[in-house]
Structure 1
């Protein structure tokens, strides 16, 4: 029997529970002093509306669960608080409404399915990778108790008082406070947080708080395949997968605290007029209007706010993806703690003025719009000209996990200006396809290894059209380790599009008007598809560009001309081969990622980049790209990453690097 004597229980290795062969319910039944109320509530709750069994029965059987179990004292404290708010009429657990019981239970349990349940050794700061049964992320942070003892916090203020209680169907972590994540929208959460009041006011006067209200696509709830494991038959071949259970909307907001604004504008000078004058004086948003119509998206304050908003729910751990980048290919889970080199992701912000921000993961954390020079031998930072805006993983004592997204406080002003579009984004921009599809992150699909994933044809906002014959399937790397298991993929995952496909996708914006190359990441083999590509501004009438993209053509064919750098020998011979391949419309894969130990993308003969477009692109314009199969039978069309590269990089004074 465990003793949960007080809130000052030390969290150290001596607290590890000794495995006894119990199920979760066995453990709760054997410790009524601490878990009798939780046990009662489990018996009141059904796993779903369609289920006749209870959570008590579910946790009595086989399975794989992580349970953050509130003690009797924690439940009493929670129900007392609800009684004061008139949300319950009694603190008797037998009489609480079903909605309250469901909230307590669903927020406390993660169904890990075919993955291992979480012990504390799996925790890193930020959100756990799987959502709880209420489809909310559970956040982990670390701190110290009043006596200096190290503490693991769950959702900011609930402490694990006994950890790693191993049972036959998972792990239990006893907590001292019921997990009750905020039900506020992300805009309301910012506006009602004491140290973000000024940014909250900006959300209010610009009307952006009203644009951050959506939570769930109710029309998708009627989709008959939602949440189902299915076998899709494409040209007589079976493909297994799962459709997402829901289609949630999500948002991420980067927020300067009041103290950050005071540092820029002066203490006691937190006014909208002061910010507007500061932006104008310092030359930001030069084409914006400086009138008082803050709801206009042409207004400078409105544009300042919109550059802080992303249309997806990003957890701290998934803002950038540590996976198979250079230097990490040892077969272990890569969570960024064994840092080898910078990783990054590009995101389009909200609003009619289409803009991009770059988030870079460095050893010390995450930065927005960092500008550095990389050592071309080690591919580590050699010098840093613009450190970037630091993102905080939490807001201290205040909850940053809203019903429909997250906000993250930042340590300096986030601005769109010449340093961003002429320096930070004047580079080869490599986009993983997942970063272009906000729904992937918001709905916890990316790297969700419980299944490969299918999608309804209108699931993605940036794909305005998809033929009935097109089957989109997302394939996460099954082990998600630094060694991608011979997959020649950037960030170890891919889309595999099946059928006689035809789909159109919105491209991300370019930072400035100029000449660009667009490159398509290729993993060639004989089972792949072949597509004609179209590109332009009218998604309903796009002109074709170039020759068809044939993913069956392997690197060593004469039409590509791939030869390994090792066989070429000298730097001069390597550069000449690169030029010859470019003349054929191809490039070797990047050195940056590693499909296998010691083998970079550049070393793989079928890991290629095909140049699919070269031409003028306008800043602020919306471009679409269409892929239409030219084969009459179904094939697997590999879709992994795109590169958008300004001419200053691919044909500049200094040769483009091989990374």
Structure 2
């Protein structure tokens, strides 16, 4: 059975604004000021900010916001605060508990400088200091478009630059999530069948709590919910009809019952807003070893679009206007049609090792040419190593010498066998669908990382990789000849032919379970120097190993 190769969108930065912002003119006035800090600026305009300043003062955060730093503050104006007080049944800020106000301030504050050009149709790149993400978009009123936050607060005065950050004035107070995903669904009667199914399978309880894996790490969840109208369009008029169609054991509480698996398939591990869903081609669900596939089509996020046996399956659209709903334990999305478990075929994974969650949050550094950031042991959740540091690099491309994908790469402390030095480095991959894959390692040659053994889930691959090696005479032979020798051109520039960038196959891995896996490099030589790792490709063994190629501007060449 032939399956269409899905584009590896998770190695691309998807510009979500293209479809929604490009056709709308947004009036933005950038303000400059001599105020030294956020509080100082607001104090000069009590007619706009006096009520929010009361919140800041009563919450005990005034001195914090007076300090040096790099913040973004969404400051509601006086009318917004008064509306908020009416909403919660209070007549003044003084009637609200200071601890509650402190949380409110944190929800309006980000520990990074985010200007409106960085706003997208979706979540902001960094969370608030409350720990939740804000959602931005555009609202058009009487022919005038303005940015809107959390679908309610219009940005009236954007991008005020002060000494310790950026201030955006809004016409509503931003209110943190108050309900779990389960409660959001239960209180919306249009999800009655889906909610009944959650309760019958036990998943309602799972979605009604925030579980901590340890003292600081929460287990966030993401739900693809179906309204009653979606079920009815599929010929399912009630929960009883849903159970009759899917429950093969008659007991949906049983983990192996088909209805239990069906509902679990609608729940994804992790906190995944639309921007996160488009950043990877596959996402794990609570149905064991089952994933949903995602792809961006224009400005539409589509679930499970593929071609099977020559038949194109359009997939299911995510309703953007009713998705990205934050809850206390995750995020809720709404889908336009029924989502159900399908048999998956292996699909290529083009793993950009420099695209890590902690690095992506550093918006002033990530994929910004001319920057580097050094990380210590424990700083990166999905990269581990034995000693020293790991450096993220992003520099201007030189097509003849250094043509990294997206201009960035990872350099660990010198990979060598000497005691006390960095004796190994390990990466956790994105989700890989079970199957057999050829593994290719893409790099720029340098002095370090001599004759590294490569392990996939502790299984030793048959070939060593020498990060100081390259293929002589590469420009004179064909792709087929290169592959027969364990090499390929992966860069869309001349750098490979100039014996600078290399991509070498280390073996074929049998991926027995769908999920995330570990790739480890262990040097066998004791030579100091840099090791520059750009990408790792995992390509099904029966698929084209040569295309696409990867350009330094993030584009793909087929």
Which runs of structure 2 are paired with 1:113-512 in the superposition (5 Å)?
Answer: 116-118=113-115, 120-145=116-141, 149-212=144-207, 213-214=209-210, 216=212, 218-219=214-215, 247-266=217-236, 269-271=237-239, 273-278=240-245, 290-321=248-279, 345-351=280-286, 353-371=288-306, 385-395=312-322, 400-418=325-343, 421-422=344-345, 425=346, 427-433=347-353, 440-441=356-357, 445=361, 449=365, 452=373, 454=375, 457=378, 460=381, 469-470=386-387, 473=390, 475=392, 477=394, 488-498=403-413, 499-502=421-424, 511=433
Matched position secondary structure for 1:44: helix
Matched position secondary structure for 2:488: strand
| Post-superposition CA distance 1:93-149 (Å, at most 9, x none) | 24532222212211112232xxx541x34422111212222232111122344x565
From 600, 612, 624, give the equivalent of 2:506: 612
Matched position secondary structure for 1:262: helix
Q: 1:43 to 1:520 in 2, by over 3 A?
A: same
Q: 1:117 to 1:150 in 2, by over 3 A?
A: closer
Counterpart in the other structure of 1:579:
480
Check conservation: 2:284, 2:431, Cα contact below 8 A: no
| Post-superposition CA distance 1:554-604 (Å, at most 9, x none) | 343xxxx522xxxx4xxxxxxx5222221221211154xxxxxxx378667
Check conservation: 2:462, 2:506, Cα contact below 8 A: yes
> Where do 5+ consecutive residues of structure 2 fail to align?
1-23, 367-371, 414-420, 550-557
Q: 1:291 to 1:555 in 2, by over 3 A?
A: same
Q: Give the whole-Å Cα distance in 1 for the aligned partners of 2:405 and 2:122.
A: 23
Counterpart in the other structure of 2:47:
33
Check conservation: 1:69, 1:175, Cα contact below 8 A: yes
What TM-score results when the alignment is normalised by the length of structure 1? 0.67
Q: 1:277 to 1:606 in 2, by over 3 A?
A: farther
Residue 363 (structure 1) shift: 2.2
Q: 1:66 to 1:657 in 2, by over 3 A?
A: closer
Check conservation: 2:405, 2:491, Cα contact below 8 A: no
Check conservation: 1:477, 1:484, Cα contact below 8 A: no
Check conservation: 1:500, 1:631, Cα contact below 8 A: no
Residue 182 (structure 1) shift: 0.5
Q: Give the whole-Å Cα distance in 1 for the aligned partners of 2:187 and 2:63.
A: 40
Q: 1:302 to 1:609 in 2, by over 3 A?
A: farther
Q: Give the whole-Å Cα distance in 2 for the aligned partners of 1:12 and 1:428.
A: 39
Which runs of structure 2 are paired with 1:33-72 in the superposition (5 Å)?
Answer: 33-46=47-60, 55-60=61-66, 63-72=69-78
Q: 1:184 to 1:14 in 2, by over 3 A?
A: closer
Q: 1:500 to 1:65 in 2, by over 3 A?
A: closer
Matched position secondary structure for 1:353: coil
From 499, 508, 522, give the equivalent of 1:628: 522
Residue 624 (structure 1) shift: 5.2
From 434, 454, 474, give the equivalent of 1:562: 474
Residue 487 (structure 1) shift: 5.9
Q: 1:25 to 1:185 in 2, by over 3 A?
A: same
Q: 1:390 to 1:256 in 2, by over 3 A?
A: same
Alpha-carbon RMSD: 4.0
| Post-superposition CA distance 1:398-426 (Å, at most 9, x none) | x70123432222222223324xx24xx4x
Q: 1:59 to 1:189 in 2, by over 3 A?
A: same
Residue 478 (structure 1) shift: 7.5
Counterpart in the other structure of 1:534:
455
| Post-superposition CA distance 1:220-277 (Å, at most 9, x none) | 5xxxxxxxxxxxxxxxxxxxxxxxxxx45433322223322221124xx131x42355
Matched position secondary structure for 1:649: coil
Matched position secondary structure for 1:313: coil
Q: Give the whole-Å Cα distance in 1 for the aligned partners of 2:170 and 2:337.
A: 35
Matched position secondary structure for 2:105: helix
Q: Give the whole-Å Cα distance in 2 for the aligned partners of 1:483 and 1:182.
A: 47
Matched position secondary structure for 1:407: strand
Matched position secondary structure for 1:295: coil
Q: Give the whole-Å Cα distance in 1 for the aligned partners of 2:91 and 2:400.
A: 53
Counterpart in the other structure of 1:332:
none
Q: Give the whole-Å Cα distance in 2 for the aligned partners of 1:186 and 1:493.
A: 37
Check conservation: 1:189, 1:400, Cα contact below 8 A: no
Residue 552 (str. 1) matches residue 446 (str. 2)? no
Check conservation: 1:75, 1:178, Cα contact below 8 A: yes
Residue 154 (structure 1) shift: 0.9
Check conservation: 1:182, 1:401, Cα contact below 8 A: yes
Counterpart in the other structure of 1:77:
83
Q: Give the whole-Å Cα distance in 2 for the aligned partners of 1:68 and 1:505.
A: 37
Check conservation: 1:516, 1:646, Cα contact below 8 A: yes
Residue 33 (structure 1) shift: 2.5
Aligned residues: 512
What TM-score results when the alignment is normalised by the length of structure 2? 0.77
Check conservation: 1:132, 1:138, Cα contact below 8 A: yes
Q: Give the whole-Å Cα distance in 2 for the aligned partners of 1:366 and 1:602.
A: 35
Check conservation: 1:313, 1:441, Cα contact below 8 A: no
Residue 71 (structure 1) shift: 1.8
